[in-house]
């Protein structure tokens, strides 16, 4: 800088300098909005879960009140029994769905793949969803390719995925509406479509409908929209099979379509995709069963069922009394709850396995804990089998029928 004449530095005018920092908060705002949305969906899920659980509890409560009436006609008693069984199955299905979605997202589900025909899987899925569709007086049209389509799949899990899609279609379709299920082979993959005349999906929601706990608009459903699990589970199960699911819709009020694509198989021996529901009539007369559970109602009711099936059964309500009953009752099978206060089932099992007098006693864990680590823990404690509550009587009969004098260590679900 050059100064002329009598100018000094003080006379020089210097423009002010402003410093500023610019921050892009777009990503932070997106994260905040995502957290707010997730929190809202969590609240909606919990509210819906409470509603879904209360729905079957009401008829169960009413049914029990009816059964207390000694003068109830035989035909009405049968109706009440059927209603109680139906509502309990609904509760069990809700709990199973919650556990399944947890197992899938944690990568803890292992598929049991075998050759199966697509028609068998579709037939089973329709059977599972038939009650919901018929209650709404909806028309279901099923069309499959004439040539059999073979899959290498876990028929139970793939059936579950297709049934979830059918249930979703029924929930979001008006009474008397129409649903189409079709299947054909294309470019080495089986393509299954579930289409309906229902509420439709806004364009911006087509991908988000598969998000966990995402629920549709309540106005578009008959009753409650569900827990927001079904579509997420369907997609995850299909992806485990190496496939994908796509949602399509022309918009609100114009119906929707879900398209499943899974690889076909060239295997020749085909399973029919159905479990054997016709178990032989098994008598339990050769079994002396000690049922141990701190929930007295659970222990007593299971003892009644076992006695009704021919077994000699007795109940104990804590670990120490179970050990005391061994010498007096001399059971050959122990059905043992794990999560008892004080001496839990694991401790009881270890005590029994340390006593050579009871080395031939069959120990069956009967518990609400159903994760894989729970099964491994029970086996490590000395249990022979692991069953999840509530155990179906037919499943118990099948297990008892398989029991041999020599101990074999397996897990059941």
Q: Please give the class, per CATH, of domain 288-402.
A: alpha beta
Q: What integer pLDDT is reported at residue 41 of this predicted model?
A: 62
Residue where the block lists tokens 């007086």: 137
Q: Which residues have a Cβ under 8 Å from the Cβ of 31 and sit 6 or more positions away?
A: none
pLDDT at position 336, please?
Answer: 93
Per-residue pLDDT reduced to its tens digit, 106-132: 666 778 889 999 999 999 899 888 888
The predicted model scores a pTM of 0.53
Number of helices and strands (H, E) in the chain?
10, 12
Q: How many CA atoms lie within 13 A of 18 on its CB side?
A: 3
Q: Summarize pLDDT for 130-185 with one digit per residue, the tens.
A: 888 998 999 999 999 888 999 999 988 899 899 999 999 999 999 999 999 999 99
Q: Where are the domains of the chain?
A: 32-105, 114-263, 288-402
CATH number of 32-105: 1.10.287.130
Q: Cα(262)–Cα(241) distance, rounded to whole angstroms?
A: 7
Cβ–Cβ < 8 Å for 196, 179:
yes
Closest CA to 404 of 286, 261, 280, 324: 286
The pLDDT score that the predictor gives to residue 278 is 45
Helix (H) or strand (E) holding 233: helix 230-240
Residue 9 CB-half CA count within 13 A: 1
Q: Which CATH number fits domain 114-263: 3.40.50.620, 3.40.50.970, 3.40.190.10, 3.30.565.10?
A: 3.30.565.10
- The pair of structure tokens assigned to 350 is 């270890």
Q: What pLDDT score was predicted for residue 14?
A: 58
User: The tokens 């995402």 sit on which residue?
Assistant: 214
| E strand spans, 197-249 | 244-248
Sequence-ordered list of residues with C-beta below 8 angstroms from that of 229, at least 6 positions apart, any chain: 97, 98, 101, 212, 213
Q: What is the pLDDT of residue 47?
A: 57
Please, what are the averages of pLDDT over each run of 10 residues along the chain (413 residues)? 51 60 68 71 59 63 69 74 73 70 69 90 89 90 91 90 92 93 94 94 83 56 57 89 93 93 73 45 83 86 85 93 92 91 91 90 84 79 85 79 54 45
């Amino acid at each position: 800088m050059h100064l002329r004449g009598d100018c000094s530095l003080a006379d020089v005018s210097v423009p002010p300098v402003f410093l500023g920092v610019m921050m892009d908060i777009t990503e932070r705002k997106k994260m905040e909005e995502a957290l707010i949305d997730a929190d809202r969906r969590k609240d909606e899920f919990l509210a819906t879960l409470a509603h879904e659980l209360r729905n079957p509890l009401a008829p169960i409560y009413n049914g029990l009140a009816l059964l207390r009436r000694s003068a109830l006609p035989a035909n009405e008693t049968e109706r009440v029994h059927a209603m109680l069984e139906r509502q309990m199955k609904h509760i069990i299905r809700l709990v199973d769905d919650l556990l399944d979605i947890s197992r899938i997202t944690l990568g803890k589900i292992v598929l049991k793949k075998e050759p199966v025909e697509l028609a068998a899987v579709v037939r089973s899925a329709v059977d599972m969803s038939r009650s919901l569709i018929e209650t709404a007086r909806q028309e279901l049209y099923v069309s499959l390719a004439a040539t059999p389509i073979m899959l290498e799949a876990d028929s139970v899990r793939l059936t579950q995925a297709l049934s979830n899609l059918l249930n979703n279609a029924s929930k979001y379709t008006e009474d008397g509406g129409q649903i189409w299920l079709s299947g054909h082979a294309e470019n080495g993959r089986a393509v299954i479509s579930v289409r309906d005349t229902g509420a439709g999906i806004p364009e911006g929601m087509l991908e988000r409908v598969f998000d966990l706990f995402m629920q549709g608009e309540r106005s578009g459903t008959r009753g409650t929209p569900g827990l927001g699990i079904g579509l997420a589970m369907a997609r995850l199960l299909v992806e485990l099979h190496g496939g994908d699911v796509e949602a399509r819709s022309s918009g609100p009020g114009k119906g929707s379509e879900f398209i499943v694509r899974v690889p076909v198989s060239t295997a020749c021996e085909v399973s029919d995709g159905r479990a054997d529901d016709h178990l032989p009539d098994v008598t339990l007369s050769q079994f002396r069963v000690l049922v141990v559970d701190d929930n007295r109602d659970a222990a007593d009711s299971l003892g009644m069922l076992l006695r009704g099936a021919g077994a000699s059964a007795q109940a104990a309500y804590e670990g120490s009394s179970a050990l005391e009953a061994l010498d007096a009752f001399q059971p050959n099978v122990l059905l043992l709850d794990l999560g008892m206060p004080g001496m839990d089932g694991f401790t009881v099992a270890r005590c029994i396995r340390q006593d050579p007098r009871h080395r031939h006693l069959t120990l069956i864990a009967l518990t609400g804990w159903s994760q894989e680590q729970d099964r491994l823990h029970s086996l490590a404690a000395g249990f022979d089998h692991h069953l999840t509550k509530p155990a179906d009587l037919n499943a118990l009969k099948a297990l008892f029928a398989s029991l041999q004098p020599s101990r074999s260590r397996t897990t059941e679900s």
